[in-house]
């Protein structure tokens, strides 16, 4: 039995005979498809079919009780005319546009300097990395507590000690979004630092030695050697973190759970809107599916654009 693949396992001696008559090459093919059988079923049933279903559902109306009903582009038209959707659309991009540059610049600065530190290098690196190991939900609650007004919240208590008036954090429409973004940036920073450091270490030392011989300043070395050679790393991190910010959900859901996406929808991202449309109150599955198609399209366009812009330079 040793040379017979169990996934294509022959039950009868007839099959067994046939197996022995196959050439080595043919046996390889049988083995390969035998190994791939379960994964192919998985990808078809759990990835491809649901993707197609989401697209189809976006052209239907369905509240989970009646039958699915074709409505053409109605769901998309309704989305287009929905002022809340546009607010959410803007919010989603605000997370991206504020979050990505801040986190990347911070991560680069830390990585650049940490790369040159020898004493307790591992310990300092660990301090920056630890937040990455936490669950976004747990940390959302920790930060939510920090943001509470006096006498509860840590930040406002701290300010009060110096007689500084309270800061509204999650309660004001202008400060709530950045307040939710802060823990997201904080938690992802360690990851980006580690990736930047790996990129920095990959730059050959000889380049810097040559630059020093030529009398280039540290600043010139940074702009003429380090950053250009780090481009692949930068491209990867920009795309990776943009996708992360565009899909923000856990933090918003948990920091605004008494008033989801509030105040006044000022913090609601697309994923939270999708969740509410599909599972909150009366479920409008078709409408929610249309929103997921929009999210998919945004993610695709943003990553393709970024790849193109950052590559060509």
Q: Which is nearer to another protein, 155 or 266 (CB)?
A: 155
Among 104, 107, 295, 302, binds another protein (CB under 8 A): 295
Could you say which of 201, 217, 228, 259 contacts another protein (CB under 8 A)? 201
Torsion of CA 17, 20, 22, 26, to 10 degrees: 120
Q: Which is nearer to another protein, 153 or 176 (CB)?
A: 153
Considering only residues 98 through 137, tell me which ones interact with another protein, judged by CB under 8 A: 110, 113-137
Comparing CA positions, the residue from 176, 222, 167 lying closest to residue 196 is 222
Among residue numbers 135 through 194, which ones bind another protein (CB under 8 A)? 135-139, 141-146, 148, 151-152, 154, 157-158, 161, 183, 186, 189-191, 194
Q: Report the run of H or E that residue 60 belongs to, with start and end.
A: strand 60-61
Contact status: 312 vs another protein (CB under 8 A)? no
Rounded CA-CA distance 198/101 in Å is: 20
- The binder of another protein chosen from 92, 226, 242, 292 (CB under 8 A): 292
| Residues in Cβ contact with 140 at an 8 Å cutoff, skipping those fewer than 6 apart | 183, 250, 251, 253, 254, 255
Q: Is 6 in the site for another protein (CB under 8 A)?
A: yes
**29 vs 220, beta carbon nearer another protein:** 29
Residues 299, 313: Cα–Cα separation, whole Å = 22
What burial class does residue 21 get, using C-beta atoms within 10 Å of its C-beta: 0-12 exposed, 13-18 middle, 19+ buried?
A: exposed
Q: Which of 22, 105, 198, 210 contacts another protein by CB under 8 A?
A: 198
Applying the rule CB under 8 A, the residues between 22 and 41 that interact with another protein are 28-29, 31-33, 35-36, 38-40
240 binds another protein (CB under 8 A): yes
Any residues with CB less than 8 A from the CB of 27 and at least 6 apart, and which? 3, 19
Element (H, E) at 191: helix 176-201
Q: Is 15 in the site for another protein (CB under 8 A)?
A: no
């Amino acid at each position: 039995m040793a040379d017979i693949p169990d996934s294509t396992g022959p039950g009868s001696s007839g099959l067994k005979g046939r197996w022995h008559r196959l050439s080595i090459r043919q046996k390889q093919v049988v083995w390969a498809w035998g190994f791939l059988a379960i994964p192919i079923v998985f990808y078809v049933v759990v990835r491809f079919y649901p993707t197609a279903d989401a697209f189809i559902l976006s052209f239907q109306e369905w509240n989970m009780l009646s039958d699915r009903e074709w409505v053409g582009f109605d769901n998309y038209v309704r989305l287009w005319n929905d002022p809340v959707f546009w607010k959410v659309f803007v919010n989603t991009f605000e997370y991206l546009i504020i979050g990505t540059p801040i986190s990347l610049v911070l991560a680069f600065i830390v990585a650049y300097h940490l790369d040159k530190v020898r004493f307790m290098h591992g310990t300092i690196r660990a301090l920056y990395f630890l937040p990455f190991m936490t669950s976004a939900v747990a940390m959302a609650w920790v930060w939510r507590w920090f943001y509470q007004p006096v006498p509860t919240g840590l930040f406002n208590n701290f300010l009060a000690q110096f007689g500084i008036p309270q800061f509204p954090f999650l309660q004001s429409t202008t400060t709530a979004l950045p307040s939710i973004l802060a823990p997201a940036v904080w938690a992802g920073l360690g990851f980006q630092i580690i990736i930047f450091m790996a990129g920095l270490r990959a730059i050959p030392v000889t380049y810097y030695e040559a630059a020093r011989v030529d009398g280039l300043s540290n600043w010139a070395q940074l702009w003429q050697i380090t950053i250009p050679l780090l481009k692949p790393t930068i491209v990867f991190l920009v795309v990776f973190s943009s996708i992360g910010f565009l899909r923000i959900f856990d933090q918003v859901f948990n920091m605004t759970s008494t008033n989801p996406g509030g105040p006044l929808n000022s913090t609601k991202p697309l994923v939270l809107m999708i969740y509410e449309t599909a599972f909150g109150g009366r479920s409008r599955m078709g409408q929610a599916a249309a929103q997921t198609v929009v999210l998919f399209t945004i993610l695709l366009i943003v990553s393709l654009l970024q790849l193109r812009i950052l590559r060509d330079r």
